[in-house]
Amino acid sequence: MQLQRAKNQVAEVLYELLTKKKINRRDVMNETGILNLSARIGDLRIKHNLTVKLEQVKTKNKHGRRVVYGNWLIPDDEKEKALEVYNNINR
């Protein structure tokens, strides 16, 4: 998929969602520098009416405590709409 370079944080998060199967807070922070991923996901959901699903992953940390983190993804049936939104917000 050939996309223009993202021009703002919302477009950058949407770019990550379109080019990868799933994204999470750590990876987005390391790759883009965006610290508040949940706010940008909220923008996509509320302002642009996109379906962005959260998949909770339960695991244990290095101390043996249970922790939960999330992976965000765009369902396959929403990818075309997401691409239109990306092109509109990235003008």
DSSP letter at 72 equals E
The string of pLDDT tens digits covering residues 23-77 is 999 999 999 999 999 999 999 999 999 999 999 999 999 999 999 999 999 999 9
What whole-number distance in Å separates Cα of residue 47 and Cα of residue 70?
A: 21
The beta strand positions in the chain, using DSSP E, are 53-60, 66-73
pTM above 0.75, yes or no: yes
Residue type at position 60: K
User: Are the beta carbons of 13 and 34 closer than 8 angstroms?
Assistant: yes
From the CB of residue 2, how many other CB atoms can be counted at a distance below 10 Å?
Answer: 3
